């Protein structure tokens, strides 16, 4: 195993072995299975006992007296003498004392018009000395995503409470006499403004010892100003509009000496250098978890990534952000349009006349897959939204949704994109072969592709299907659906995902260009009286049904691929609209089968009109027969 603080390795031995290379056999027969055997001496095993056990063989039970710790404090034994000093109480945040018998003083602080920070520092002063006045208590707290209030506890009553958010100081409490159990709020109006924003440049540029004489000016010019700060002092404006300043250690660091607690480059912070009470990790972008151990980006764009930092738990849909509401509206619109398009498309391509070549076979199946795509999209969206809004939902339901919905949605989306791509390729082959194009052979090839395509797509995404799991985020008190993968698997899966977007995009683009260029060259050789440019425009106009579809597909597939390629992760601090547009646009080819493939084609339009006329006549006959 590797040391945390240096580039060296050591051997962690199995029970029964010792030594630097685990080559020395030892007798561990006297150590129970839940202990750790580290050696033997004089034919006796050396056992490291688990919590709650003691003795040379870890056979004796450490038991605190019943009710020794008050207020749900946790009691542990620190020696074996079984006297009062042998017991130590660990109290919850609200209590203190040798037996957790004392109640701490509480302050509830709400954040108004202040963006929720990653963490905040609270300085609590029980008295003020204008020589050197370190805060009585410094409380370090990590904030959750949508947290708008904090509660801080102190063992003594207080006079001043200052909150530090992103190196900005806010005066939360200021009392002439000591106080406790206060409910207050902070807003930009209570910010302690840096002195360089208050003094004229000629006064601020003076040496600090001379500049201090002008510190009464900001208090007298601004009657709403409560406090301001400079490089060394926190200054309070008195009722007489003078300034009283006391030292404030701006440069005090809360960084851990050895950053072995946080992973993936997270910054470790603790409220004390020795015997800290709170320790937390400030994660880099794209990482989350109490130790920054999880990556906040799935492979490709997913609804989990898009909405993870947007949906507020324990709130109704009306109370959600505009991003969530527009996503819901977009999902419903795509679902309704997709159903109508897939129904009309199936009516057209169910007709035998439209399935004389492979394109009709592909498009009939694509119409069916289109229904499945938009159905899975709306199921996935409302599952993610509902489960994120209701964190207490049954874990089994979360597990099923995590394992099934996203892989199924991707599978149907890839199927739809590839079937539409096969249409473009088949049309390009028909143009290239001309009169020698074998319709029967193309239909046979289409059937084989339809059989093989699902297996090829499933085999390419098999790892994601088996590696999805739930992760409990205890800080946010929420459960996330994540994919656990190594660097090599991440590279492989990213290549596969990009292939499913790049290959259809390039195939549709090349098909469209080939059809235009090839037909133009044929016509130019036959009709030499027209220029190449005129021939190109004429052929685009005459064969628009062959050209429009692959061009539209290529354009619509590009945004999601580009966003997936350029993005690292999606967080609420970034602009989500680019990601949302790229995500929802990628469903348009699957949802607009009828518009993309039927309407540009004169033949397909005529067949659609015939089909509608036939169904209308059947309906009218059925109505008359029923009457």
542: pLDDT strictly greater than 70: no
pLDDT band at 369 (very low <50, low <70, confident <90, very high): very high
For residues 194 and 225, give the distance between their C-alpha atoms in angstroms, rounded to a whole number: 12
For residues 292 and 297, give the distance between their C-alpha atoms in angstroms, rounded to a whole number: 13
Q: Report if residue 260 sits inside a domain.
A: no
- As a whole number, mean pLDDT of residues 529-547 equals 55
pLDDT band at 573 (very low <50, low <70, confident <90, very high): very low
Q: What angle separates helix 439-460 from helix 358-389, to the nearest 10 degrees?
A: 20
Q: Report if residue 209 sits inside a domain.
A: yes
The pLDDT of residue 4 is 56
- As a whole number, mean pLDDT of residues 390-401 equals 86
**Structure token digits, residue 548:** 């429009």
Q: Report if residue 268 sits inside a domain.
A: no
Of 231, 247, 263, which residue sits at a domain end? 247
For residues 505 and 424, give the distance between their C-alpha atoms in angstroms, rounded to a whole number: 11
Sign of CA dihedral 605, 608, 613, 616: negative
- As a whole number, mean pLDDT of residues 276-292 equals 79
417: pLDDT strictly greater than 50: yes
**Structure token digits, residue 339:** 């159903």
**CB-neighbour burial class of residue 408 (10 A; exposed 0-12, middle 13-18, buried 19+):** middle
The pLDDT of residue 448 is 92
User: Which residues, listed in sequence order, are joined to residue 169 by a DSSP beta bridge?
Assistant: 164, 192
- As a whole number, mean pLDDT of residues 378-403 equals 89
Q: How many domains does the chain have?
A: 3
Q: Report if residue 73 sits inside a domain.
A: no
pLDDT in tens, 69-82: 999 888 887 776 77
CA-wise closest residue to 339 among 360, 363, 379, 367: 367
For residues 308 and 501, give the distance between their C-alpha atoms in angstroms, rounded to a whole number: 24
Q: Are strands 168-179 and 158-165 parallel, antiparallel or unpaired?
A: antiparallel
Q: Higher model confidence: residue 4 or residue 376? A: 376
572: pLDDT strictly greater than 50: no
Q: CATH code at 38?
A: 2.10.25
The pLDDT of residue 175 is 82
342: pLDDT strictly greater than 60: yes
For residues 54 and 75, give the distance between their C-alpha atoms in angstroms, rounded to a whole number: 16
For residues 258 and 159, give the distance between their C-alpha atoms in angstroms, rounded to a whole number: 35
pLDDT band at 627 (very low <50, low <70, confident <90, very high): low
Helix (H) or strand (E) holding 159: strand 158-165
pLDDT, mean over the chain = 81
**Contact between 182 and 173 (Cβ < 8 Å):** yes
pLDDT in tens, 4-20: 556 677 787 777 777 77
The pLDDT of residue 586 is 80
Q: Report if residue 154 sits inside a domain.
A: yes
Return the residue matching tokens 């490089």. Answer: 231
- As a whole number, mean pLDDT of residues 197-218 equals 85
The pLDDT of residue 95 is 92
- As a whole number, mean pLDDT of residues 91-120 equals 89
**Structure token digits, residue 543:** 């064969």
531: pLDDT strictly greater than 60: no
302: pLDDT strictly greater than 80: no
Return the residue matching tokens 């239909």. Answer: 443
Q: Report if residue 288 sits inside a domain.
A: no
Q: How many residues does the chain have?
A: 627
- As a whole number, mean pLDDT of residues 395-405 equals 88
In what side-by-side order are the strands of the sheet with 168-179? 137-142, 119-125, 158-165, 168-179, 191-194, 227-229, 233-237, 243-247
Of 190, 214, 247, which residue sits at a domain end? 247
Q: Report if residue 76 sits inside a domain.
A: no
The pLDDT of residue 338 is 92
3-state secondary structure at position 40 = strand
The pLDDT of residue 337 is 93
Does 25 lie in the same domain as 138? no
CA distances from 252 to 163, 167, 248, 385 (A): 15, 12, 9, 42
Residues 6 or more apart in contact with residue 593 via CB below 8 angstroms:
341, 342, 345, 363, 366, 367, 370, 420
**Structure token digits, residue 260:** 């072995």
The pLDDT of residue 614 is 85
114: pLDDT strictly greater than 50: yes
Q: Which residues constitute the domain of residue 559?
A: 294-618
Does 304 lie in the same domain as 223? no
Does 109 lie in the same domain as 57? no
pLDDT band at 549 (very low <50, low <70, confident <90, very high): low
Does 124 lie in the same domain as 28? no
The pLDDT of residue 5 is 55
End-to-end CA distance of the chain, in Å? 84
Q: What's the pTM?
A: 0.70
3-state secondary structure at position 143 = coil
CA distances from 425 to 14, 230, 442 (A): 61, 70, 11
Return the residue matching tokens 């995590």. Answer: 402
CA-wise closest residue to 299 among 454, 482, 471: 482
For 1-15, 212-226, 419-433, 560-574, which range has the lowest pLDDT when averaged over its residues? 560-574
Distance of CA 4 to the CA centre of its chain: 28
The pLDDT of residue 129 is 66
- As a whole number, mean pLDDT of residues 131-147 equals 77
Sign of CA dihedral 161, 166, 169, 171: negative
The three-point CA angle 348-349-350 to 5° equals 95
- As a whole number, mean pLDDT of residues 254-270 equals 83
224: pLDDT strictly greater than 60: yes
- As a whole number, mean pLDDT of residues 363-388 equals 92
Does 164 lie in the same domain as 299? no
Does 123 lie in the same domain as 42? no
Phi, psi of 33 (to 5 degrees): -65, -25
Does 121 lie in the same domain as 53? no
Q: Higher model confidence: residue 456 or residue 586? A: 456
Return the residue matching tokens 């240096």. Answer: 6
Does 165 lie in the same domain as 51? no
Does 177 lie in the same domain as 300? no
Encode 179-213: b = buried (16+ Cβ within 10 Å), e = exposed.
beeeeebbeeebbbbbbeebbeeeebeeeeeeebe
Q: CATH code at 388?
A: 1.20.1070.10
Q: Higher model confidence: residue 179 or residue 611? A: 611
Q: Report if residue 557 sits inside a domain.
A: yes
DSSP single-letter state for residue 297: -
Does 481 lie in the same domain as 342? yes
pLDDT in tens, 233-254: 888 888 888 888 888 877 677 8
The pLDDT of residue 395 is 87
- As a whole number, mean pLDDT of residues 593-615 equals 85
Full DSSP string of 454-491: HHHHHHHTHHHHHHEEEEEETTTTEEEEEE---HHHHH
- Rank 174-183, 323-332, 431-440, 474-483 by mean pLDDT and report only the highest: 323-332
User: Which residues, listed in sequence order, are joined to residue 227 by a DSSP beta bridge?
Assistant: 236
3-state secondary structure at position 440 = helix
Does 487 lie in the same domain as 339? yes
Does 311 lie in the same domain as 382? yes
Of 7, 28, 61, which residue sits at a domain end? 61
CA-wise closest residue to 302 among 593, 586, 588, 573: 586
């Amino acid at each position: 195993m590797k040391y945390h603080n240096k580039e060296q390795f050591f051997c962690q031995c199995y029970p029964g072995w010792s030594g630097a290379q685990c080559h020395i056999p030892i007798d561990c027969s006297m150590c129970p299975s839940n202990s750790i055997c580290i050696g033997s001496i004089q034919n006796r095993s050396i056992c490291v006992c688990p919590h709650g056990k003691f003795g040379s063989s870890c056979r004796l039970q450490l038991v605190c007296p019943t009710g020794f710790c008050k207020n749900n404090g946790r009691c542990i034994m620190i020696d074996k003498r079984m006297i009062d000093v042998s017991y130590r109480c660990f109290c919850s945040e609200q209590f203190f004392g040798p037996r957790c018998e004392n109640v701490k003083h509480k302050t509830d602080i709400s954040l108004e018009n202040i963006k929720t920070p990653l963490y905040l520092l609270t300085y609590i002063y029980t008295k003020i000395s204008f020589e050197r006045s370190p805060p009585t208590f410094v409380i370090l707290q990590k904030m959750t995503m949508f947290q708008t209030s904090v509660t801080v506890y102190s063992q003594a009553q207080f006079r001043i409470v200052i909150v530090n958010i992103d190196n900005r100081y806010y005066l939360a409490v200021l009392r002439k006499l000591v106080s406790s159990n206060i409910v207050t709020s902070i807003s930009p109006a209570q910010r302690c403004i840096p002195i360089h924003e208050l003094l004229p440049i000629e006064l601020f540029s003076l040496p600090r010892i001379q500049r201090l004489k002008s510190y009464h000016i900001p208090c007298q010019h601004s009657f709403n100003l409560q406090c301001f700060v400079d490089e060394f002092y926190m200054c309070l404006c008195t009722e007489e509009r003078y300034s009283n300043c006391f030292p404030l250690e701006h440069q005090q660091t809360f960084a851990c000496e050895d950053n072995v607690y946080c992973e993936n480059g997270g910054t470790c912070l603790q409220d004390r250098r020795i015997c800290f009470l709170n320790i937390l990790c400030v994660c880099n972008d794209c990482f989350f978890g109490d130790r920054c151990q999880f990556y906040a980006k799935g492979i490709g764009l997913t609804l989990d990534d898009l909405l993870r930092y947007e949906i507020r738990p324990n709130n109704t849909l009306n109370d959600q952000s505009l991003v969530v509401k527009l996503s819901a509206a977009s999902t419903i619109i795509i679902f309704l349009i997709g159903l109508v398009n897939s129904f009309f498309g199936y009516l057209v391509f169910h007709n035998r006349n439209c399935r004389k070549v492979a394109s009709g076979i592909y498009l009939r199946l694509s119409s069916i897959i289109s229904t499945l795509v938009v159905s899975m999209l709306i199921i996935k969206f409302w599952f993610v939204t509902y489960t994120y809004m209701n964190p207490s939902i049954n874990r089994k339901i979360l597990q099923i949704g995590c394992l099934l919905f996203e892989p199924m949605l991707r599978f149907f989306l890839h199927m739809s994109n590839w079937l539409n791509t096969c249409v473009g390729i088949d049309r390009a082959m028909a143009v290239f072969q001309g009169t020698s194009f074998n319709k029967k052979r193309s239909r046979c090839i289409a059937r084989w592709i339809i059989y093989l395509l699902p297996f090829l797509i499933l085999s390419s995404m098999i790892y994601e299907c088996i590696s999805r799991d739930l992760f409990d985020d205890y800080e946010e008190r929420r459960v996330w659906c994540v994919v656990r993968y190594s660097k090599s698997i991440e590279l492989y899966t990213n290549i596969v995902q990009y292939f499913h977007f790049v290959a259809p995009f390039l195939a549709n683009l090349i098909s469209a260009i080939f059809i235009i260029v090839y037909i133009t060259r044929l016509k130019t050789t036959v009709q030499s009286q027209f220029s190449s440019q005129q021939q190109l425009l004429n052929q685009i106009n005459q064969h628009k049904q062959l050209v429009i579809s692959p061009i539209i597909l290529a354009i619509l597939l590009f945004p999601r691929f580009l966003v997936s390629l350029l993005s690292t992760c999606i967080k609420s601090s970034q602009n989500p609209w680019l990601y949302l547009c790229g995500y929802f646009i990628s469903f348009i080819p699957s949802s607009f089968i009828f518009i993309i493939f039927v309407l540009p084609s004169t033949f397909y339009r005529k067949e659609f009109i015939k089909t509608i006329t036939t169904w209308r006549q059947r309906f009218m006959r059925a109505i008359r027969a029923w009457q």
